[in-house]
């Protein structure tokens, strides 16, 4: 049953700033694992409402909530069965309305995960589409005949392993699925599909959401001719969007995604969003070879998406000073006219504390780095506690991706385990029941309760750095000039008006002396880092950062 609209965007207005998203810090909530309110071991919307004060106190600008739509949960909400409702395990539309109201009262904007490149095979649209080749929705999904020998139409591969085509004995054709075979791809070449997806977006905008995280934004369109993807030379393979064990990396994905028709649809979506002032979207660009280039294309100008993120800093490649410099130069070359949303962790990758083998000091430096880059920021729940990847044994594994490639790839469950609110409870204060995923013992030692009143804790550091950043608008919306990348450090300057902020990060294991740009620079206090200025410029001990100001007040 659909609950009447509350028009929350009118009753609880936030400060009018159509550019709020530019430089915003967005906190990702994975609802299954944030807070359980009804004792079933799965997080829900009421649980999020109960914890919003904590999120607001962090100092973030918005939350992004991963999918909560009705779903068979084979991919935990990313297999949508109904786009205009809430899965009962998470609550109701009334709960969602209450969440928006409470978030807005706390000054938090709410972005939701819009998954429109594919649906669940349980969706009524797919059930109708597979029924015949002549029904009204026969062209709503990507169907193709078998080759004469009965094999799939082409060589396209699924992100989850194996062919991207599944034979359907009812329709006697193959359908395309970029992910699980239970997640058939919608056919965006069909105008009715585009119209329906825009109507879905309108439904949630009218309900008061402040924007969208667009799942797999570059997967919406496929090559109409179904041409084979070319092979990718071993030397050119990049494992940032799929693990090395996955043959998906063996292809150059030029025909199964990132097609030029996407630009027209994004312009339609942006035009719809512009009917609702102050809304914004961030797109997930999944492409190992051209992610940054696509990010630039999808965010360039005023008629595309506001933000996108690629996978350069979500990969396993160690982020040395040289590597960070390479990414920033690449961004300046391919996407300088666009807008990035930087993230080091999310629900799809190993937590960066573990992935990059960081100690707590260097972990703090990377927060300073991310908060200083030109772009917006996504933080992932638990990141502020310094959580590493949790070990989940195979018998408790839920993620189909991990089950498919175990043990060489353990899947995504290790970053999805529940938040730890207290340490003196076997379930970490997340639930009164056994959680849907086990809680790691080392996570309990890093609970919110143990850190929130400890000035030197990671949580306190995150709160302090987010508050400190708001005092320096140049770090939020300023211009960016890369200064230097050498010997394990990276430095750049952010400029807004008459204020310039010099940012330098020593990512090496030895002390560094770094030259300052021309001008009279003053150390900016308040970060807790141990670097300082001396007669030679900037002195940074190993694993430290420095911020200095020129001009301004």
Residues involved in catalysis: 215, 275
Sequence-distant (6+) residues with CB within 8 A of 234 are none
Strands (E), 352-498: 376-380, 479-486, 489-496
d(CA 553, CA 549): 10
Nearest-angstrom CA–CA distance, 501 and 474: 7
Task: Assess contact for 144 and 173: CB atoms under 8 A.
Answer: yes
**Stretch (H or E) spanning 25:** strand 25-29
**Adjacent-strand bridge partners of 176:** 165
H-type alpha helices, 173-258: 191-206
Residue 245 in 3-state DSSP? Answer: coil
Question: With left for phi above 0 and alpha for psi between -120 and 50, is residue 547 left, alpha or beta?
Answer: beta
H helix intervals, 16-83: 45-58
Task: Give 181's Cβ-side CA count (13 Å radius).
Answer: 9
End-to-end CA distance of the chain: 55
DSSP letters, 319-386, are: --HHHHHHHHHHHHHHSTTS-BEE-S--TTS--HHHHTT--HHHHHHHHHHHTTSSSEEEEETTGGGT
| Cα gap 375→341, rounded to integer Å | 5
- Residue tagged 């109701």 (tokens): 92
Q: At what angle do helices 291-299 and 321-334 cross, to 10 degrees?
A: 40
> ∠ at Cα 243 (242, 248), nearest 5°?
50
Cβ neighbours around 288 below 10 Å, total: 21
DSSP state of 414: G
Q: And the tokens for 80?
A: 């949508």
């Amino acid at each position: 049953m659909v609950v009447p609209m509350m028009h929350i965007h009118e009753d609880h207005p936030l400060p009018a700033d159509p550019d709020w998203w530019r430089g915003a810090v967005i906190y990702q909530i994975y609802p299954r694992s944030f807070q359980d309110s009804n004792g079933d071991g799965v997080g829900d919307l009421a649980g999020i409402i109960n914890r919003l004060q904590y999120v607001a106190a962090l100092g973030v600008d918005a939350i992004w909530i991963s999918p909560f739509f009705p779903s068979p949960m084979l991919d935990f909400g990313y297999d949508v069965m109904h786009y205009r409702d809430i899965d009962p395990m998470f609550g109701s539309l009334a709960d969602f309305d209450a969440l928006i109201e409470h978030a807005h009262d706390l000054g938090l904007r709410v972005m939701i995960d819009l998954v429109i490149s594919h649906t669940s095979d349980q969706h009524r649209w797919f059930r109708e589409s597979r029924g015949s080749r002549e029904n009204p929705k026969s062209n709503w999904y990507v169907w193709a005949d078998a080759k004469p020998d009965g094999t799939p139409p082409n060589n396209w591969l699924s992100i989850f392993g194996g062919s991207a085509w599944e034979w359907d004995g009812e329709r006697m054709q193959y359908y395309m699925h970029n992910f699980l075979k239970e997640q058939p791809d919608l056919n965006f070449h069909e105008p009715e599909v585009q119209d329906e997806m825009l109507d879905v977006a309108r439904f949630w905008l009218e309900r008061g959401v402040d924007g969208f995280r667009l799942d797999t934004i570059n997967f919406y369109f496929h090559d109409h001719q179904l041409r084979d993807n070319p092979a990718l030379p071993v030397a050119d393979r990049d494992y940032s969007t799929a693990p090395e064990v996955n043959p998906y990396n063996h292809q150059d994905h030029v025909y199964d995604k990132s097609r030029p028709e996407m630009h027209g649809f994004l312009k339609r979506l942006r035009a719809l969003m512009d009917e609702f002032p102050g809304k914004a979207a961030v797109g997930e660009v999944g492409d190992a070879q051209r992610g940054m280039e696509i990010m630039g294309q999808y965010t360039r100008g005023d008629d595309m998406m506001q933000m996108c993120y690629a996978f350069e800093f979500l990969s396993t490649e160690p982020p040395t000073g040289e590597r960070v410099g390479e990414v920033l130069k690449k961004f300046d070359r391919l996407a300088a006219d666009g807008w990035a949303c930087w993230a080091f962790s999310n629900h799809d990758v190993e937590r960066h504390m573990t992935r990059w083998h960081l100690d707590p000091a260097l972990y703090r430096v990377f927060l300073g780095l991310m908060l200083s880059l030109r772009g917006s920021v996504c933080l992932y729940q638990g990141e502020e506690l310094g959580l590493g990847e949790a070990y989940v044994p195979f018998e408790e594994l839920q993620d189909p991706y991990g089950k498919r490639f175990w043990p060489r790839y353990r899947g995504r469950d290790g970053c999805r385990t529940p938040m730890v609110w207290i340490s003196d409870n076997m379930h970490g204060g997340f639930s009164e029941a056994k959680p849907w995923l086990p809680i790691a013992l080392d996570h309990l030692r890093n609970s919110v309760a143990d850190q929130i009143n400890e000035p030197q804790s990671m949580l306190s550091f995150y709160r302090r750095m987010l508050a400190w950043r708001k005092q320096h608008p140049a770090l939020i919306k300023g211009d960016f000039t890369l200064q230097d990348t050498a010997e394990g450090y990276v430095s750049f300057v952010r400029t807004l008006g008459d204020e310039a902020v010099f940012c330098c990060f020593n990512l090496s294991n030895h002390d560094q002396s770094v030259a300052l740009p021309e001008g009279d620079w003053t150390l900016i206090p308040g970060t807790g880092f141990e670097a300082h200025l001396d007669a030679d410029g900037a002195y940074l001990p190993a694993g430290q950062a420095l911020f200095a100001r020129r001009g301004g007040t």
